[in-house]
Structure 1
């Protein structure tokens, strides 16, 4: 456990949530934020009190997928910051403070902001939380994973592309070295071909989302997400979480 007292507050908050998932990708462009956002939104539509936390401070995009503007997002203080409600989904992103301007953080600055966000958001009443993270695996993400072992389960997102698969193998080794046992894999823009790869790596294969050219039909508003023709694939993945 980190000596930073904020992590003790983080553990206390997350222990109240039945299931917490940190969605990771070894490289950009695999659709990690798309997967995080639609999994959390469809979970909320099923009547499960669900939260979505965007920890990408430099290039957040979950609000674009959800169709909310930064100026629309606000938080009420009640034993911490209460998440913003989008339908039945509880949502938190730093865009409320940055107004969608890039926030370039490095080293200790990045770790401090991550610790602060994790410690101040009040997820009371939430049963399932999805945490969207920046691509790759930074020092602050490793710190969070290491300190929150046993509370947070990683969901790794990959495409069937060879470069993505090789990067996932490296990411899995890092997670294993950090003491993480159970790791889930979601295949994006695929057809199920990564199931054999997941088994060979000892990963829990949660399912796949196929590639479609009309992806804009599924993002940008609540109604688009609710009526997205990919919904059945996300619900199949949710049945494994």
Structure 2
């Protein structure tokens, strides 16, 4: 088998980070990007050296959650790209390079772009890195988990709906088939009922975030994010992640 030095380079970069979490969802509409953004932001607010990388090239949305204008994001280049500073959070979004226009990437080009973006980032000095991925179970973006399983931990986001639960079980099965034995789960827009549903070896239930009709007031600006009434729920999940070995 031909050695992929690009993958080795990315692994070396991520090994310098204390913990790297790849946030996944088996389907869209479960709040994955919102969760990625807020977990990373609150980790930084609590004093951790945290970073967030958005790897959704077609429809990046973390900048919308944080209220960041991608046209105003500036990166410092010095032997790589330093993530921009948003509040206390180190942040990278492809929207800053594309000016929020979608990239027409398909197939292997998606996987190649994911690894190439990470490979040029300066991640040294970070304790925690959250990587937001496109929704779904296509090989192109799941590749980041399959090929970097030694240095990343998957955080799967689901809602309590039967459709979402059924879909996420398939994703967990794929992750296990790829050799991953440690999988984290977050229940979004729920009440904690999935703690028993996914009570099985290898799955760590991190907690839940309840449904909140006024949630739009929790995103769109750093002030909104800081004053979100559900902040404690996200912080509880952050605490669980930080306490994991």
Structure 1 length normalisation: TM-score?
0.97
Segments of structure 1 that go 5 or more residues without pairing to the other structure are: none
Structure 2 counterpart of 1:8:
8
Q: State the 1:233 CA deviation.
A: 0.2
**Is residue 82–residue 121 contact of structure 2 (8 Å, CA) maintained in 1?**
yes
Alignment of 1:46-195 (within 5 A): 46-195=46-195
Structure-2 separation of matches of 1:3 and 1:81: 25
Structure-2 separation of matches of 1:70 and 1:47: 25
Structure-2 separation of matches of 1:201 and 1:160: 20
Residue range with higher mean Cα deviation, 73-82 or 171-180:
73-82
**Is residue 22–residue 152 contact of structure 1 (8 Å, CA) maintained in 2?**
yes
Structure-2 separation of matches of 1:188 and 1:233: 10
Q: State the 1:76 CA deviation.
A: 0.9
Q: State the 1:48 CA deviation.
A: 0.2
Structure 1 counterpart of 2:207:
207
Q: 1:71 to 1:80 in 2, by over 3 A?
A: same
Moved over 4 A (4+): none
Structure-2 separation of matches of 1:200 and 1:104: 39
What is the RMSD computed on CA atoms of the aligned residues? 1.3
**Is residue 56–residue 132 contact of structure 2 (8 Å, CA) maintained in 1?**
yes
Q: State the 1:138 CA deviation.
A: 2.1
Q: Secondary structure at the match of 2:199?
A: helix
Q: Secondary structure at the match of 1:53?
A: strand
Structure 2 length normalisation: TM-score?
0.95
Q: 1:10 to 1:2 in 2, by over 3 A?
A: farther
1:55-103 C-alpha deviation (Å, 9 max, x unpaired) = 0000000000010111111211122100010011000011111111111
Q: State the 1:2 CA deviation.
A: 7.4
**Is residue 181–residue 202 contact of structure 2 (8 Å, CA) maintained in 1?**
no
Provide the aligned length of Structure 1 versus Structure 2.
241
**Is residue 10–residue 118 contact of structure 2 (8 Å, CA) maintained in 1?**
yes
Structure-1 separation of matches of 2:2 and 2:149: 12
Q: 1:166 to 1:2 in 2, by over 3 A?
A: farther
Q: Secondary structure at the match of 2:198?
A: helix
Structure-2 separation of matches of 1:193 and 1:2: 46
Structure-2 separation of matches of 1:74 and 1:65: 18
Q: Secondary structure at the match of 1:199?
A: coil
**Is residue 2–residue 147 contact of structure 1 (8 Å, CA) maintained in 2?**
no
1:6-54 C-alpha deviation (Å, 9 max, x unpaired) = 1111011100001100000000000000100000000000000000000
Structure-2 separation of matches of 1:33 and 1:95: 14
Structure-1 separation of matches of 2:140 and 2:161: 27
Segments of structure 2 that go 5 or more residues without pairing to the other structure are: none
Q: Secondary structure at the match of 1:175?
A: helix
Structure-1 separation of matches of 2:205 and 2:143: 25
**Is residue 64–residue 220 contact of structure 1 (8 Å, CA) maintained in 2?**
yes
